[in-house]
Homo-oligomer: A and B are copies of this chain.
Amino acid sequence: MSSKHREISIAEFFEKNKHILGYSNPSKALITCVREAVDNSLDACEEAGILPDIMVKISKTGEGFFRIVVEDNGPGIERDQIPRVFGKLLYGSRFHAIKQSRGQQGIGISSAVLYAQITTGKPTVVTSKVEGGKAYRFELLIDTKKNEPEIVSEREVEWFSPHGTRIELEIRGSYVKERKQSVYEYLKETSVVNPHARITFITPDGEVHDFKRISDTPPEPPKEIKPHPHGIEIGTLMAMLKNTKARDLKNFLKTEFVRVGDKISEEILAKAGLPASMSPSSLSREDAERLINAFRLTDLLPPPVDCLSPIGESLIMKSLMEEYSPEFVYAVTRKPKVYSGHPFLVEAGIAYGGEIKEDKVSLLRFANKIPLLYQQSGCALTQAVVSVNWKNYGLQQSKNELPVAPAVILVHVASTNVPYVSESKEAVAAIPEIIEEVRLALQECGRRLKEYVERKKSIQKRKKKEEELLKIIPLLAEKISEVVEREKVDAEKVIARIMGKVYVSREVRDGRAVVVIHNFSSARRRLRIYEMCDGGINGDRTAKWDVEVGPGEECRIEYEFKGRHINRKPLVEGIEEEMLAGGEVVKLGY
């Protein structure tokens, strides 16, 4: 263990371990390349406030080889940045910024360039133009020993587009369709959670899929924030103390952290027993430990929400509705929380019944609005879903498995630093705080689902009971009236009484009508009654009365009319269908 020690460049590392970046087999590699390019386009457009218009074209160049073109209308990249953005691993603009973004590692797109180079030896072609500038076209390789871009060619070109970026990669790959893990599925799910984007996909067979723009307002770009004192690690704090430009501790706290102002910084320093005027670089490890303890003992506002960009409850519900046509849908966006100093929030949605067929529940996982197609079983989001006791919410479930039900579950985690299990961004690591939030979100969805299903069941039960009564009571009534030789009993009224409903009847004689409202329910009712006659009621075709009837009470309306009633039964507003007998429910605004 002596002579052969050597430095390893990160490009060499990933050349040997490309599966870690998502290039473990040809079909996955193709999806990964598309994903890295599209994620970059969406991020760039979002930051510039541009409505994204993205074209993805895949064509076959040989047996097992494909060309991928991804073109966007984003802000473009400055000429001198292009080589390193695409030709150097661990280089980027989003790694050091604390805000939600798809790319956060500075590895993504250059890993695609590296993969193209490894498998075809061909350079990647990048064309980019910033607003008001010229378009430049680069052919790029990566010098893996140095992890530096190697510019094969560079020239100015004409490009009709006012701004944007176009990348062309040639790779070894495999194109699959009609599978959960496919370019089509990735783009579809991307479009579901990015309704402001228009994505055009041209397949190797020349088919064109147009994922349309549904919303014309770009999402508010997430704001960059400073780190939050809660959850910061002592080693990170010590590095910050060493590198800060602040001259004293008080200014250090105020300028390097979020949620720390004059008062809070004084409170922290008092708790730590450190003078405000102390130079940050002079703190010892023990001093830093005191500072960390003081952070912990100080109440602070949670990190600001505007560094995160959730999908939103209504959009999740809308998407699930449109995609799956369920009979019930519900979604929850939880409040932001913090893990190891990184703000995050969790969203969950559930769609149930309707056209969804009974089976193991389909799970849609998203992180920072990127669909996660692989490693479902190795992902903390899945772990959280299966850890919920779905039997509590009326679904079948085997231990540690997805429930069996006609349902789709969606989970989204948004964070300034999504803790992916690996650089391939396929699964979220088992961070306890995140799992807990997902569970809470799902439990709320579960409760709502249970309420819905129980209400549906109880309505069905009432209905069944009523149907049975409807069979018996009229016969009974007839028999009784025969025996006692009296007028026939109103069977519908009897049933309404038994079922605890509101019963409305109308009797007509000689141009006069009497409407009687019996409230057999246990609640006070405020109702509006409508009647319509072709000859008019007091001159109008339609008449209305507002009535209020206590439980067990009744109320009568008498009026004169001409001609015949247009409505077969009195119309009643302000009551649920299942609570009314004898009349007909009308919705507000009828």
Interface residues in chain A, defined as those with a beta carbon under 8 Å from any beta carbon in chain B: 1-10, 12-13, 15-17, 19-20, 24-25, 44, 47-48, 74-78, 81, 84-85, 88, 90-93, 95-97, 105-106, 114, 117-122, 130, 144-145, 233-239, 243, 285, 288-289, 375, 377-379, 417, 419-423, 427, 429-432
Query: Which residue of the partner chain, among B5, B48, B288, contacts A121 with CB atoms under 8 Å?
Result: B288
Can you report 17 residue pairs joining A to B where beta carbons are below 8 Å apart?
A2-B77, A5-B92, A6-B92, A8-B90, A13-B90, A13-B105, A15-B235, A16-B95, A24-B419, A118-B235, A119-B233, A121-B235, A121-B238, A122-B285, A145-B243, A377-B378, A421-B421
Q: Which of B13, B19, B74 contacts A431 (CB 8 A)?
A: B19
Question: A19-B429, A421-B422 given. 9 additional CB < 8 A pairs?
Answer: A3-B93, A5-B81, A6-B92, A16-B95, A17-B419, A24-B430, A145-B243, A377-B377, A378-B427
A93 touching B4 in the complex, CB below 8 Å, given contacts A19-B429, A20-B422, A421-B378: yes
CB neighbours of A6 from chain B (8 A): 91-93, 95-96
Q: CB distance A105 to B429 under 8 Å?
A: no
- Output the nearest chain B residue to A120 by Cβ-Cβ distance: B234
The reply to whether A118 and B233 contact each other, CB–CB distance below 8 Å, is: yes
Chain B: CB-nearest residue to A92:
B5
A353 to chain B, nearest CB (A): 25
A20 touches B78 (CB 8 A): no
In the complex with contacts A13-B105, A118-B233, A8-B92 CB distance below 8 A: yes
In the bound assembly, the distance between CA atoms of A20 and B130 in angstroms comes to 35
- Distance between Cα atoms of A12 and B236 in the complex (Å): 10
User: From DSSP, what is the main secondary structure of chain A's interface residues?
Assistant: loop
Contact A5/B85 with A13-B95, A377-B377, A378-B378 known, Cβ cut-off 8 Å? yes
Q: Collect the chain B residues with CB atoms within 8 Å of residue A144's CB.
A: 239
Option from B15, B48, B121 in Cβ contact (under 8 Å) with A1: B48
How many whole Å from A173's CB to the nearest CB in chain B?
13
A8 closest partner in B (C-beta): B90
Q: Which 5 A-B pairs have the closest CB atoms?
A: A378-B378, A422-B422, A118-B235, A377-B377, A8-B90
CB distance from A31 to the nearest CB of B (A): 14
Distance of A96 Cα from B233 Cα, bound (Å): 34
Q: Which of B74, B235, B427, B430 makes the CB contact (< 8 A) with A119?
A: B235
Q: Are A24 and B431 CB-contacts (below 8 A) given A13-B105, A117-B235, A417-B16? A: yes
CB contacts (< 8 Å) of A378 on chain B: these are 375, 377-379, 421, 427
Q: Which residues of B contact A93 (CB under 8 A)?
A: 1, 3-6
Contacts of A4 in B (CB 8 A): 93, 96-97
CA distance A326 to B496 in the complex (A): 70
Query: A9–B13 Cα gap in the complex (Å)?
Result: 14
CB distance from A33 to the nearest CB of B (A): 14
A1–B77 CB distance below 8 A: yes
Asked if residues A118 and B236 are in contact (CB atoms below 8 Å), the reply is yes
Interchain CB contact under 8 A, B421 and A20? yes
In angstroms, how far is the closest chain B Cβ from the Cβ of A543? 66
Minimal beta-carbon separation of A533 from chain B (angstroms): 66
- Cα(A285)–Cα(B118), bound, Å: 11
Cα distance A92–B13 when bound, in Å? 12
The complex places the Cα of A427 from the Cα of B378 at a distance, in Å, of: 9
In the complex, what residues of B have CB within 8 A of residue A74's CB?
1
Kindly state the separation between the CA atoms of A238 and B119 in the bound complex, as whole angstroms. 11
Q: Give Cα A236 to B90, complex, Å.
A: 20
Provided the pairs A75-B1, A288-B121 are in contact, do residues A423 and B7 lie with their beta carbons within 8 angstroms? no
Docked pose: A130 CA to B285 CA in angstroms:
32
Contact of B235 with A1 in the complex, beta carbons under 8 Å? no
- How far, in angstroms, from A81 to B5 measured CA to CA in the complex? 8
Given contacts A17-B105, A378-B377, A8 and B77 within 8 Å (CB-CB): no
Least CB distance from A236 to B in Å reads: 6
Find out whether the CB atom of B5 lies under 8 angstroms from the CB atom of A429: no
Complex CA gap A12/B95 in Å reads 10
Nearest CB in chain B: distance from A139 CB, A: 12
Please state if B423 and A20 are interface contacts (CB–CB under 8 Å).
Answer: yes
Q: Quick one: which of B7, B10, B85, B88 contacts A88, CB cutoff 8 A? A: B7
CB distance from A367 to the nearest CB of B (A): 13
Which of B17, B91, B379 touches A5 (beta carbons < 8 Å)?
B91
Which residues of chain B are within 8 angstroms of A243 by Cβ–Cβ distance? Answer: 145
Q: Are A95 and B8 in contact (CB under 8 A)?
A: yes
Q: Which residues of B contact A7 (CB under 8 A)?
A: 84, 88, 90-91
